[in-house]
Amino acid sequence: MSNAAVTASAPATNSDKSILARLGAAFVGRLVIIVPYVWLLFFFLVPFIIVFKISLSQTAIAMPPYTPVLDFKDGISGFFAGFGALSFDNYAWLTQDALYFNAYVTSVIIAAISTVLTLIVGYPIAYGMARAPATIRPTLLMLVILPFWTSFLIRVYAWIGILKPEGLLNQLLLATGIISQPLIILNTYTAIFIGIVYSYLPFMVLPLYSSLEKMDYSLIEAAKDLGCPPTSAFWKITFPLSLPGVIAGCLLVFIPAVGEFVIPDLLGGSQTLMIGKTLWNEFFANRDWPVSSAVAVILLLLLTVPIMFFQQAQARAQEQDK
């Protein structure tokens, strides 16, 4: 960039102005980095440090409802003295109560099963889209993205009316004589699976589509010509080539699903246990900020590895685009 600025200053009379312009450009260039960087540091990274800090403090009946540790009010010495007040009681509490452990395990299992289900539902859609005539592909893409623009809450809410014991699904099944007793789906884990698959389907379909669309289908024809049956051609060629899309899609579904709150709360009822709901209740119902912070820290640790995978996948995709 600076080279071009020098070229710009070719007329001698303008040289002073152009030095200013160059300095200005350099400053603006710095600003481009600094502004979003500082914003994210302050509103994304620092909050995590605070969560970690509060997870080590004692619960107190006050506002805010915890006794702060590591306060800078008493200067540096006070800060170091504060280390003595750190307590791992909240973490100990999490291990003592089986509820939390069960909630973590259930959340991971539910998220994993839903991710696989979403992949099974999403793959044929993405494949069909990738094989569609090029003229209608943008329309199909638009149709997959469109539900994503409607409210998440509304989409989950829509399923309550369908899955209720006297809801539309049961009405249909009873009327057609397929079942004689209404199915109990709402407030079970089945409802949570349906909710997650439905809400996160576009997140799975889009990365799958983008890797399937790039695929060279003459490879499949070559395999066919050489006598390879379609199913084995799929597993030997199509699936491995779509693997980047599969990984990206699965991470995009799995990671948020582990901490999902709205779906288990509205579709899962009070019987089902997931960590996002536990954290919410701990915070809003029990008003126990230190324990909910500890729950958040453990959840974050649990998700660190998949999140790092996700970032690597993102970085790799970015490299490939170049």
Partner 1 sequence: MNTTWSRFNVTSIVLGFAFLYLPIVLLIVFSFNESKLVTVWGGFSTKWYVSLFHNQGLMDATWVTARVGVISATVATVLGTLAALTLTRYTRFRGRLLFSGMVFAPLVMPEVITGLSLLLLFVAVGLDRGFLTVTLAHITLTMCFVAVVVQSRLVSFDRSLEEAAMDLGATPVKTFFQITLPVIMPAIVSGWMLAFTLSLDDLVIASFTSGPGATTLPMKIYSQVRLGVTPEINAACTILIAVVAVGVIIASVANKRREVQRQLDERAAQRG
179 is a contact residue toward partner 1 (CB under 8 A): no
Q: Which of 85, 121, 183, 219 binds partner 1 (CB under 8 A)?
A: 121
Note whether 119 binds partner 1 by CB under 8 A: no
Residues near 152 by beta carbon (within 8 Å), at least 6 away in sequence: 199, 262
142 binds partner 1 (CB under 8 A): yes
* Out of 155, 173, 183, 188, the residue judged to bind partner 1 by CB under 8 A: 155
Backbone angles phi, psi at 240, to 5 degrees: -60, -35
82-90, 98-106, 141-149, 239-247 -> range binding partner 1 (CB under 8 A): 141-149
Query: Does position 262 bind partner 1 by CB under 8 A?
Result: yes
Where does residue 163 rank: exposed (0-12), middle (13-18), buried (19+ CB within 10 A)? buried
Contact between residue 261 and residue 280 where contact means Cβ atoms under 8 Å apart: yes
Q: At closest approach, how far in Å is the CB of 112 from partner 1? A: 15
Handedness of CA 63, 64, 66, 69 (dihedral sign): negative
**Closer Cβ to partner 1, 93 or 283, answer by number:** 283
Establish if 171 lies at the interface with partner 1 (CB under 8 A).
yes
Are the beta carbons of 189 and 106 closer than 8 angstroms? Answer: no
Q: Smallest distance, Å, CB 180 to partner 1?
A: 19
Output the six-digit token pair for 147.
């539900």
Closest CA to 209 of 246, 166, 182: 246
Q: Which is nearer to partner 1, 109 or 143 (CB)?
A: 143
Contact predicate 5/21, CB 8 Å: yes
Instruction: Give the CA distances from residue 24 to residues 8, 12, 37, 166, 180, in Å, rounded to whole numbers and listed in that order.
Output: 14, 19, 20, 67, 76
Which range in 74-82, 96-104, 235-243, 311-319 contacts partner 1 by CB under 8 A? 311-319
Instruction: Kindly write out the interface string for residues 24-43 of this chain, putting x where it contacts partner 1 by CB under 8 A and - elsewhere.
Output: xx--xx-xxx-xxx-xxxxx
244 binds partner 1 (CB under 8 A): no
Please count the other Cβ atoms lying within 10 Å of the Cβ belonging to residue 143: 12
259 binds partner 1 (CB under 8 A): yes
What is the rounded CA–CA span in Å between residue 241 and residue 50? 43
Sites for partner 1 among residues 72-101 (CB under 8 A): none
Q: Which stretch binds partner 1 (CB under 8 A): 75-83, 88-96, 147-155, 232-240?
A: 147-155
Q: How far is CA 100 from each of CA 31, 263, 276, 295, rounded to the nearest angstrom?
A: 44, 19, 11, 8
Shortest distance (Å) from residue 190 CB to partner 1:
15
- Residue 315 φ then ψ, to 5°: -65, -40
Could you say whether residue 116 binds partner 1 (CB under 8 A)? no
Residue 37 or 83: the one with the smaller Cβ distance to partner 1 is 37
Binding of partner 1 by 154 (CB under 8 A) = yes
Q: Which of 60, 64, 97, 232 binds partner 1 (CB under 8 A)?
A: 64
By C-beta, is 111 or 189 nearer to partner 1? 111
- Of residues 101 and 217, the one with the C-beta less far from partner 1: 217
